A and B are shown apart, each in its own frame.
Chain A
Amino acid sequence: MAQSSRSKPAKKSAAAPPDAGIQRATVAILVDNEPGVLARVVGLFSGRGYNIESLTVAKVNDRDNLSRITIVTSGTQMIIEQIKAQLSRLVPVHTVRDLTAEGPHVSRELALIKVAARGDKRIESLRLADIFRARVVDSTIESFVFEITGSTEKLDSFINLMEPLGLVDVSRTGIVAISRGAEKF
């Protein structure tokens, strides 16, 4: 399980230098909260060969029964335009916003990180958690579960630090994002 956290930064460094035209985009999609809607969105990405680096979904509006999907994807400018146009023509999709292109935005991820250690390593993990403002949400004599919120990079580096200290498992939410300022989205 810890492998998935290790493979993540590796993938990023491999993708960055050779494909100069490739950029990352965080796309927020407001959809009807109905059966199959996530399958439509995910099926569109797999069917047309687009990347999904991260995907989160949850209901955000009870009155209109809407869910918000946040997808981090990558591709050339043309591909990202395609992704937005393809998403926009799905019937249950109300709004598609490219947060990356449309101005500053805040994006956060939450992770629950289990570390099992005794003695010095246990103390060191707690000390590092404090530096990273991670909270202990479960504790036994030989383990902690840390809750940490922040950017993907921050979570990555915390997880990397935990690795030699007895990292057991990681559960991450993927990115949620919202634009800065008073504007909707």
Chain B
Amino acid sequence: MAAQMLGAEMVIKALVDQGVEVVFGYPGGAVLPIYDALFKQNRLKHVLVRHEQGAVHAAEGYARSTGKVGAVLVTSGPGATNAVTGLTDALMDSVPIVCLTGQVPTHLIGNDAFQEADTTGITRPCTKHNYLVKDVNVLARTMHEAFYVARSGRPGPVVVDLPKDILMATGVYQEPDDRAQRRYQPQTKPDPKRIEEAAELIMHAKKPLFYGGGGLINSGPKACKLFGELVALTGFPCTLTLMGLGALPASDPRYLGLVGMHGTYESNLAMHDCDLMINIGARFDDRVTGRVGAFSPGSKKIHVDIDASSINKNIRVDVPVVGDAGAVLEALLARLKAKRFKQDKAHLARWWKEIDGWKAKQSLRYAKSDKIIKPQYAIERLYALTRGRKEVFITTEVGQHQMWAAQLFRFEKPMHWMTSGGLGTMGYGLPAAVGVQIAHPDALVIDIAGEASILMNIQEMSTIAQYRLPVKAFIVNNQYMGMVRQWQELLHGGRYSESYTAALPDFVKLADAFGAKGLRATRPDEVDDVIKAMLDHDGAVIADIAVDPTENCFPMIPSGAAHNEILLGPADKAATPVSEEGMVLV
């Protein structure tokens, strides 16, 4: 006889059975039964955030740094609507999340009851899937399916909407069983025919390029290791997307750095000029392709993706390979070895020589100063002074600081870099750092932040205080919404409409108010001391680094431009005005 229990107890049991250790949440009327069940047990830890958006971002940080599904628990109405940005962020960046939302009792649904929202309606386009549970006897099965869907195939967020009467009803609990999942069977094993076609192209490429993305990270450390093996076997150059950083160690000599709008010159030019592009787990995002019509005109393209809908969406490819990155890499390596792959040393050397010519431009170079702190300098020093540490996790907010961090912080391992790529959510970094630190209590977790972004979820400092998390917020403070300012400078005649933040808080005092340590650097010679003091402090820190407010992020492919129209620095910008088509692009 299966166990009878309350719906709320089933929720807890299902979470535990699904291997959840921590749930990020915020209570409210509709989820009180779950919080009551939570109170009566000690297997599941709850982290109380200060805003539901923070709960989802924290769960994202947790998920991306552990490879597990992040769990969120919020109440009905505003609890659910506040979670929407986080859910959309997780959808865009393929982060596995299960978000439980409270709902008014079933008999009140549709009555505009207090704190009622059409949660499944609102979250339908911003989740991978969602459920409204209307029968306590299917609650457990629904929970298990939610976890299965969140982590299978291309991962994503799943919402389970739980009416209060269901939580208080008694029913039968069903144990998890993935074999019982009859629907949603994503393809993970690649078609051998496609592998052969891909291998054949790789055998004969003269100017090849690997283009790795977040799919490698999502597939896991094993896939990243296989990716490294493939790169080593072929000797091909490799570039990574914002979501893929860490998939290949940055110290690998074949690594060309970040690709895309603010990627390195060598990455973008190699992409433009290659004759074979091997995309593994990236999605030809517009931040990477620039003008689609001028994207890598002379190349054959192999696209490996677990999501068939990513293939041929933006860019027509020659060899589509649907499957899990790890499984594909394994098959591809085996096929290449069976075909006795040998590096075409002569062509490869010529290709590398071309690439080295682009590298010589030193596209990440910036004008150093001993009077004012350059934001790039601050991040370079942060990287230099944390290099020896064993585990360093970096989260970011969104904007210039994010791009500089992506350019200058070098990742040797996957799953140590959490950033909001697809959605570009300001306010992501601090709550994400909460989630990472909860998952890795002894690691160094730094939110490389902008002063504008961090204010969007600054309330999470209170969460950091409550759980004594030693999160370091490293604010690259230029007093502007820097990326907005940069675009206004380049596209709108320097009319800085509303991008300057007057009345910023005193971040040192703000740190103090939240029981954290506040530090400030205003001159270049203070940067090292502040970073060292930040690292030495065993609690939370806000380091406010006052940087050059006018510094722009280069290189930059202006919107609507091709890769070979990349701007290297301020001197380049006057020469190429942005096209009219480019102006309408984001």
A binding-site residues for B, Cβ under 8 Å: 32, 35-36, 39-40, 43, 47, 78, 81-82, 85-86, 88-92, 94
Contacts and interface: CB of A to CB of B under 8 A. Distances in A.
Contacts of B311: 85
Interface residues of B, number: 21
B413 to A, nearest CB: 30
B584 to A, nearest CB: 16
Nearest to A90: B129
Given A39-B124, A47-B125, A88 B308 contact: yes
Given A43-B125, A82-B313, A89 B308 contact: yes
Contacts of A90: 129
B312 interface: yes
B531 interface: no
A32 B183 contact: yes
13 contacts: A32-B183, A35-B132, A36-B130, A39-B121, A40-B124, A81-B312, A85-B307, A89-B307, A89-B309, A90-B129, A91-B128, A91-B184, A94-B183
Contacts of A94: 183
Contacts of A47: 125
Interface string B116-151: 000011001100111010000000000000000100
Contact of B312 (A35, A78, A92): A78
A43 B149 contact: no
A78 B316 contact: yes
Contacts of A43: 124-125
A91 B313 CA distance: 20
A69 B565 CA distance: 47
A68 to B, nearest CB: 16
Most buried by A among B149, B186, B309: B309
Contacts of B316: 78
A82 B183 contact: no
B149 to A, nearest CB: 6
A107 B184 CA distance: 29
Contacts of B184: 91
Given A82-B312, A85-B308, A91 B125 contact: no
Instruction: Please give me the 7 A-B residue pairs with the lowest Cβ-Cβ distance, nearest first.
Output: A85-B309, A91-B129, A85-B308, A91-B184, A86-B309, A47-B125, A89-B309
Contacts of B186: 89
Nearest to B316: A78
Contacts of A91: 128-129, 149, 183-184
Contacts of A81: 312
A89 B313 CA distance: 14
Contacts of A39: 121, 124
A146 B309 CA distance: 43
Given A32-B183, A36-B120, A88 B309 contact: yes
Most buried by B among A35, A82, A91: A91
B459 to A, nearest CB: 31
A92 B121 CA distance: 16
Contacts of B120: 36
A90 B149 CA distance: 10
Contact of B183 (A40, A78, A92): A92
Nearest to A64: B182
Contacts of B128: 91
A128 B124 CA distance: 48
A35 B313 CA distance: 29
A87 to B, nearest CB: 9
Contact of A36 (B124, B149, B183, B312): B124
Most buried by A among B129, B149, B316: B129
Contacts of B154: 89
A39 B312 CA distance: 25
A65 to B, nearest CB: 11
Contacts of A78: 312, 316
A88 B184 CA distance: 9
A162 to B, nearest CB: 40
Contacts of A86: 309
A89 B306 CA distance: 11
Contacts of B309: 82, 85-86, 88-89
A78 B121 CA distance: 29
Interface string B169-188: 00000000000000110100
Contacts of A32: 183
Interface in B538-572: none
B445 to A, nearest CB: 33
A90 B158 CA distance: 12
Nearest to B156: A89
A88 B312 CA distance: 15
Given A36-B132, A82-B313, 17 more contacts: A36-B120, A43-B125, A47-B125, A82-B312, A85-B309, A85-B311, A88-B309, A89-B153, A89-B154, A89-B186, A89-B308, A90-B129, A91-B128, A91-B129, A91-B149, A91-B183, A92-B183
A36 B121 CA distance: 8
A107 to B, nearest CB: 26
Nearest to A81: B312
Nearest to A83: B309
A78 B313 CA distance: 7
A88 B308 CA distance: 9
Most buried by A among B128, B313, B316: B313
A90 to B, nearest CB: 8
Contacts of B153: 89
A61 to B, nearest CB: 14
A85 B307 CA distance: 8
A36 B120 CA distance: 8
Nearest to B184: A91
A78 B307 CA distance: 16
Contacts of B308: 85, 88-89
Contacts of B132: 35-36
Interface in B292-335: 307-309, 311-313, 316
B264 to A, nearest CB: 30
Contacts of B130: 36
A47 B91 CA distance: 15
